[in-house]
Amino acid sequence: MTQHIHIVGICGTFMGGLALLARQLGHQVSGSDASVYPPMSLQLADAGIELTEGFSAQNLEPRPDLVVIGNALSRGNPEVEAVLDGGVPYISGPQWLGENILAGRWVLAVSGTHGKTTTTSMLAWILEYAGMAPGFLVGGVPTNFGLSARLGQSDFFVVEADEYDTAFFDKRSKFVHYKPRTLVVANLEYDHADIFPNLAAIETQFHHLIRCVPSQGLIIHGNSRSIDQVFSRGVWSPRQSFGHKTENHWQVRPLSPEGAQFELLSPQGEKEVISWSLIGEYNVMNACAAVAAAHHAGVPLKIAARALEDFKGVKRRLELRGTPNGVAVFDDFAHHPTAIAMTLEAMRGRIGAESGRLLAVIEPRSATMKGGHHCAALAAATSEADTVFWYEPPGLSWPLTELVAEQKGHSVWQHIDAVVEAVAGVAQSGDVVIVMSNGGFGGIHEKLLQRLGDTSGLG
């Protein structure tokens, strides 16, 4: 039976993907959000989904059959209050996904602090390349598919499994609703300080996730003390590790310093060399996890290797936006010092120490970074950059200026246009600019491209 489903907080990557899936099921879908911006707004508009900017009780007229409430919404929001006061049926996004899309399917879930979106995209593409027509829901837009979610035409469904909480009325992590048969636990660090008091609290949620994997399923995991800590509380499914060590079931052997070529070894002793367009050791590890997960679903290593060579990346994951006047401008989704460091190290490996300069433009926007939980690690995370331009977003609870005062080549700016002018004042042909934020960054990418395209602005 088709329904009118209204999604509150629709422009987040997860909720937007959910909207696409609901539309593909034949439901009438509408939605609202505080701000409506690409790329999700464009995907939704193309799917014929009506969007409203801002939250209001009027958005519930005519009354929908069901309201899906995003985890960014809380009590006091006028639309949430109208749902509760009006007795409108409501549900969380992860629960709706689990009950209406994932039930009865072979779910391949990708979890971890870093690399979820890219690994999920790789895994979905490997299955697609192998002719398995999977469904998927990714927290980004894989370039090979051009959209973040689809139902698929088989029993296989690939989902990015986020540890963030489910909704204001369900404080469990999203991923406990997915019940995967194949689970990737890539890595585990402290993050999401707005909802988790410490790393142990996150480990508890991963323990709950482990409890959901069937005894005939498979857990594919990286190597870390925190992951070991999770497993020490109980594991009821087979496990396979991946990494550089000889004792890992799936082994990675780098064949180039920047990660453009590497060898994968399977538990059965098979070997494949992969040459691809991505860079960075972290992406090589993401690839190994994706191949291992695909192998569990029946994809031979050789097929998976060829699929990776045809993988085109994910929007906003070290995505080249343009090269105005010879200055390469990349967009990268950065939410944690480890992610910042790995991205800059990867790019330094590609451009080398003797060629163009590496300029980083960073907004510490995530709730964890805004709260100051990782501030001591931020300066060290940028060590590979020649010059760092920090944007101080509203609501930052710690003195960014003091943090970088002793750092050579670092500067702090309170206005985005000022950041653009500062970058344009020093950038020259051959330089690489990486813009790092987990938000829209006030449209700075387009502003930089336009300003750098003006030859009078180049140093």
The tens digit of pLDDT for each residue in 289-300 reads 999 999 999 999
Query: Which residues are CB-contacts of 431 (< 8 A; sequence separation ≥ 6)?
Result: 326, 327, 328, 356, 357, 358, 359
- DSSP per-residue codes, 356-394: S-EEEEE---SHHHHTTTTHHHHHHHTTT-SEEEEE--T
The tens digit of pLDDT for each residue in 123-171 reads 999 999 999 999 999 988 899 999 899 999 999 999 999 999 999 999 9
- Say how far residue 331 (Cα) sits from the centre of its chain: 13
Instruction: Let me know if residue 99 belongs to a domain.
Output: no
175 and 300 share one domain: yes
Q: Which of 402, 395, 406, 403 is nearest to 378 (CA)?
A: 403
Rounded CA-CA distance 27/43 in Å is: 16
Bridging pattern class, strands 250-254 and 149-150: unpaired
Query: Which residues are CB-contacts of 197 (< 8 A; sequence separation ≥ 6)?
Result: none
**For position 335, what pLDDT does the model report?**
67
Last residue of a domain, one of 63, 92, 121: 92
Quickly state the pLDDT bin for 368 (edges 50, 70, 90): low
Lookup: tokens for 365:
């926007």
113 and 174 share one domain: yes
The tens digit of pLDDT for each residue in 182-221 reads 999 998 987 776 788 899 999 999 999 999 999 999 999 9
The structure's pTM equals 0.85
Most confident of 223-237, 343-357, 395-409: 223-237
Quickly state the pLDDT bin for 353 (edges 50, 70, 90): low
Q: Which of 330, 223, 226 is nearest to 280 (CA)?
A: 330
- Residue 4, Cβ density class (10 Å: 0-12 exposed, 13-18 middle, ≥19 buried): middle
Task: Report how far apart, in Å, the C-alpha atoms of 261 and of each of 123, 284, 316, 420 are.
Answer: 18, 9, 22, 35
The tens digit of pLDDT for each residue in 81-135 reads 999 999 999 999 999 999 999 999 999 999 998 889 999 999 999 999 999 999 9
Q: How many structural domains does the chain have? A: 3
Whether 375 has a pLDDT exceeding 50, the answer reads: yes
Contact 155, 320 (CB under 8 A): no
Whether 427 has a pLDDT exceeding 80, the answer reads: yes
Whether 455 has a pLDDT exceeding 60, the answer reads: no
Lookup: tokens for 448:
């930089």
236 and 300 share one domain: yes
Q: What order do you get walking across the sheet with 271-275 strand by strand?
A: 149-150, 135-137, 156-160, 106-111, 182-185, 218-221, 239-243, 250-254, 261-265, 271-275
Last residue of a domain, one of 309, 327, 348: 309
Instruction: Let me know if residue 407 belongs to a domain.
Output: yes
Residue 283's domain comprises 104-309
In the numeric block, the tokens 């602090």 are attached to 113
Dihedral of the alpha carbons of 7, 9, 15, 18, in degrees to the nearest 10 = 10
Q: What average pLDDT is seen over the chain?
A: 91
Residue 35 belongs to domain with CATH number: 3.40.50.720
216 and 263 share one domain: yes
Contact 358, 349 (CB under 8 A): no
Greater confidence (377 vs 435) lies with 435
Instruction: Let me know if residue 97 belongs to a domain.
Output: no
178 and 260 share one domain: yes
176 and 293 share one domain: yes
Instruction: Let me know if residue 253 belongs to a domain.
Output: yes
**For position 372, what pLDDT does the model report?**
64
Instruction: Let me know if residue 98 belongs to a domain.
Output: no
Contact 29, 93 (CB under 8 A): no
What are the beta bridge partners of residue 243? 251
Rounded CA-CA distance 215/361 in Å is: 46
Q: Which of 198, 235, 195 is nearest to 213 (CA)?
A: 235
Q: Which of 276, 343, 346 is nearest to 304 (CA)?
A: 276
Quickly state the pLDDT bin for 456 (edges 50, 70, 90): very low
Instruction: Let me know if residue 396 belongs to a domain.
Output: yes
177 and 274 share one domain: yes
Instruction: Let me know if residue 17 belongs to a domain.
Output: yes
Rounded CA-CA distance 168/69 in Å is: 9
Contact 213, 183 (CB under 8 A): yes
Query: Which residues are CB-contacts of 107 (< 8 A; sequence separation ≥ 6)?
Result: 157, 159, 178, 179, 180, 181, 182
386 and 275 share one domain: no
